[in-house]
Amino acid sequence: MKIALFISGGGTTMEAIIKACKDNTLQNIIPVLVVASKSNILGIKKALDLGIQKEDVVVLNRRSFTTEEDFGQAILSLCKERDVDFIGQYGWLVKTPKNLCEAYKGRIINQHPGPLDNGRPDFGGSGMYGLRVHQARIEFVRRTNRDFWTEATAHYVTSHFDEGKIIKRERVPIFIDDTAEILQARVLPIEHKVQIEALEDFSLGRVEEFYREEPLVCEGEEGILEKCKELAIKMYPNG
């Protein structure tokens, strides 16, 4: 399975995946393309240091394209040239073009650092990434005084942020004195584990969708969630 890895920052999950491919933790999976949304990110150097060829580490800035469709077509061309079978978004902050989602439907997944709840209020959506997700989750469980945990999540990608079906997740505890930074450090290795396991599931044809029986946000708590998100964005204006 030839995979493309999309990054927008430090590339720690990309790094973990490439290393897992090299040491045969992930078998029959070959990283053939890294797409970076910005030129000045650490993930690019990591990809090159891990042996990805220079011509296979490509920077595509959304602002360089007139339309979303053109942006998607540029990515599709890169994938087609390398016979990419599967795409993973690992810290990718750009809205994924609709034509790319359609071309790789069921074969493109995203990493999210918090719990999602398809079709119901959750800790995803526009503006919810990085430390913001952790802060919003911490604030929510403190205000509601229940469910002192968060989740590392893998889900399908659609043309809307964080709305695709959940395919893998793992809980991580939240402790009374946690800050967003402390929680992020605790969740990150679990994020790596979840994404590696999700790739293995795809390579072995054993992917299962997950749906919550109990909602993350109970009826009447929607306003609390929105206030927690607003606070998180204010506290972490750069994510």
In order of 52, 106, 156, 219, 237, the CA distances from 225 in angstroms are 41, 30, 23, 11, 18
- Please work out, in degrees rounded to the nearest 5, the angle formed at the alpha carbon of residue 149 by the alpha carbons of 143 and 150: 100
**Among 65, 51, 54, 67, residue whose Cα is nearest residue 19:** 51
- How many CA atoms lie less than 13 Å away from 159 in the CB half-sphere? 10
β-strand partners of 149: 173
Q: What values do phi and psi take at 224, rounded to 5?
A: -60, -45
Q: How confident is the model at residue 14 (pLDDT cuts 50, 70, 90)?
A: very high
Domains and CATH numbers, the chain: 1-233 (3.40.50.170)
- As a whole number, mean pLDDT of residues 152-160 equals 95
> Mean pLDDT, the chain, as a whole number?
97
Those residues whose C-beta lies under 8 Å from the C-beta of residue 130, and which sit 6 or more positions away, are: 113, 184, 236, 239
Radius of gyration of the chain (CA): 17
Instruction: Please choose, from the candidates 130, 109, 110, 139, the residue with its C-alpha nearest in 3D space to the C-alpha of residue 230.
Output: 139
Report percent pLDDT > 90 for the chain: 99
Say yes or no to pLDDT of 103 above 90: yes
pLDDT (0 to 100) of residue 114: 98
Residue 201 has a pLDDT of 97
List b or e across 15-36, with b for residues whose CB sees 16 or more CB atoms inside 10 angstroms: bbbbebbeeeebeebebbbbbb
pLDDT at 159 over 90: no
* pTM of the predicted model as reported, rounded to 2 decimal places: 0.95
> Does pLDDT of 144 surpass 90?
yes
Residues 20-52 pLDDT 10s: 999 999 999 999 999 999 999 999 999 999 999
Q: Which helix (H) or strand (E) is 170 found in, with range?
A: strand 166-173
Confidence of residue 191 (pLDDT cuts 50, 70, 90): very high
Distance CA 20, CA 18 (A): 5
